[in-house]
């Protein structure tokens, strides 16, 4: 089975014409309307149902959130039935990242190294990324061979803190300090 990427959750309804409120996990809202094979999956709503391919007609801001119109969902009752569902796409549909830009999912699991006293040392592996107001943060977990025995938080600041990312080698090199 192809890996599915979770783009958004349907968290409610808006109005009487079938619009749904969504919590999006992507910045580029065009992904919803420009990609083929957008999939609605039941998620954890407990309501059952089977995943199906749909067309997202439009996504737009509404108040502090976003709303979306799914083709064929024409009234509030139909929209309410989708509460708790997920909007996904096959990973193969994701456009390639531009040079120097990385998808978070590609960074998770990479090994992180830093320079310390004229030698390169292992900090651990990327467990996840966290979005903050100022910049994103790598959460690096310890490994059997790492110099740290606890999680390390490293700000994602390219060319300053993040020195190099090599997806082929599975490594990230950072300019970071270690507690002595």
* Residues 153, 157, 160, 162, CA torsion sign: positive
On the question of pLDDT at 93 being above 90, the answer is no
pLDDT digits (tens, 9 = 90+) for 10-49: 999 999 999 999 999 888 888 888 888 898 998 765 556 7
**Better pLDDT: 97 or 171:** 171
What's the CATH fold of domain 4-93? Elongation Factor Tu (Ef-tu); domain 3 (2.40.30)
Q: How many residues are there in the chain?
A: 180
* Residues 97, 129, 8, 52, CA torsion sign: positive
pLDDT digits (tens, 9 = 90+) for 103-133: 888 899 999 999 877 788 999 999 999 888 7
Domain 104-174 is found in CATH 3.30.70.890: no
Residue with tokens 């108040």: 63
The alpha-carbon radius of gyration of the chain (Å, integer) is: 20
| Domain boundaries defined on the chain | 4-93, 104-174
Strands 137-141 and 152-155: antiparallel
pLDDT digits (tens, 9 = 90+) for 48-88: 678 899 999 999 989 888 999 999 999 999 999 999 999 99
What is the DSSP track for 24-65?
Answer: ES-S-THHHHH-S-EEEE-TTSS-----EEE-EEEEEEETTE
Kindly state the average pLDDT of the residues 142-159.
Answer: 90
Q: What percent of the chain has pLDDT above 90?
A: 52
């Amino acid at each position: 089975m192809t890996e599915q990427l979770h783009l958004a959750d349907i968290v409610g309804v808006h109005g009487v014409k079938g619009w749904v409120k969504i919590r999006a996990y992507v910045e580029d809202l065009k992904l919803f309307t420009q990609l083929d094979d957008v999939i609605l999956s039941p998620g954890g709503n407990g309501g059952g149902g089977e995943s199906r391919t749909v067309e997202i007609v439009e996504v737009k801001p509404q108040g502090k959130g976003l709303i979306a119109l799914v083709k064929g969902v024409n009234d509030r009752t139909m929209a309410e039935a989708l509460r708790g569902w997920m909007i996904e796409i096959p990973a193969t549909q994701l456009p390639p990242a531009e040079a120097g830009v990385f998808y978070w999912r590609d960074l998770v699991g990479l090994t992180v190294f830093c320079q310390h006293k004229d030698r390169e040392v292992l900090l651990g592996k990327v467990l996840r990324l966290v979005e903050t107001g100022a910049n994103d943060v790598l959460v690096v977990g310890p490994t059997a061979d790492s110099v740290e025995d606890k999680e390390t938080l490293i700000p994602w600041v390219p060319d300053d803190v993040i020195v190099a990312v090599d997806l082929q080698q599975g490594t990230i090199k950072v300019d970071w300090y270690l507690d002595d």
